[in-house]
């Protein structure tokens, strides 16, 4: 891996949908050379996969955080799953685990429910995530395109248009809108 590969990775970390051609223009390479380097990094395991990260508030969901004592992370996950969908789990020092779970509605009821249901772990604190200010005004069209991008974030606009029966112009406008939304991130996983 050389300095150009590192620069390409930097571009892809910021936005994995940036075209090979555009990355090439910025780095003084052809789009084909950028594509070949990306494929080589995928084949060697430097790039594990590309993905689309959507923050739950963008989709209208809330996040509750649980601070619990209990060293068995699987047991903690089993308990918090009774209340909502686990989003993030962070084991900490001293047998403390912090779990973020995604909930749709009735957050106060979910907190009460958690206090009643979670018997096998000691709940130290439960709190709702602050309002993140993420834009959640997604249309049905946006959601259809997001669904396609979740499957394969780097797929070409033409392919998305074909699978959604929408115009390439609609897809392009929607992706530009999604790129501006701070709660949506196109990125990659590195080994």
Residue 12 domain-assigned (yes or no): yes
Which residues span the domain enclosing 160? 140-182
Residue 153 and residue 114 share a domain: no
- pTM, two decimals, is 0.71
The pLDDT of residue 27 is above 90: yes
Question: Bridge-partner residues for 101, per DSSP?
Answer: 64, 86
Summarised one tens digit per residue, pLDDT across range 156-176 is: 999 999 999 999 999 999 999
Mean of the pLDDT values across residues 27-33? 95
Who has greater pLDDT, 165 or 53? 165
Residue 52 — φ and ψ, nearest 5°? Answer: -110, 120
Residue 139 DSSP SS3: coil
Residue 30 and residue 12 share a domain: yes
- Count of domains in the chain? 3
CATH code where residue 116 lies: 3.30.70.260
Do residues 53 and 184 make contact, with C-beta atoms less than 8 angstroms apart?
Answer: yes
């Amino acid at each position: 891996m050389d300095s150009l590969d590192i620069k390409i990775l930097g571009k892809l970390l910021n936005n994995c949908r940036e075209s090979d051609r555009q990355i090439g223009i910025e780095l003084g390479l052809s789009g084909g050379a950028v594509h070949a380097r990306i494929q080589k990094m995928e084949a060697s395991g430097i790039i594990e996969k590309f993905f689309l990260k959507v923050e739950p508030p963008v989709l209208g969901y809330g996040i509750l955080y649980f601070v619990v004592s209990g060293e068995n992370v699987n047991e903690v996950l089993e308990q918090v799953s009774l209340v909502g969908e686990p989003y993030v789990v962070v084991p900490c020092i001293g047998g403390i685990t912090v779990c973020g779970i995604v909930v749709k509605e009735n957050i106060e009821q979910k907190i009460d429910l958690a206090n009643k249901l979670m018997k096998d772990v000691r709940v130290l604190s439960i709190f709702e995530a602050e309002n993140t200010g993420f834009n959640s005004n997604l249309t049905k069209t946006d959601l259809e395109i997001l669904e396609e991008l979740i499957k394969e974030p780097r797929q070409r606009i033409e392919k998305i248009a074909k699978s959604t029966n929408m115009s390439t112009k609609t897809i392009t406008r929607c992706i530009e809108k999604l790129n501006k939304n701070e709660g949506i991130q196109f990125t990659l996983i590195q080994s």
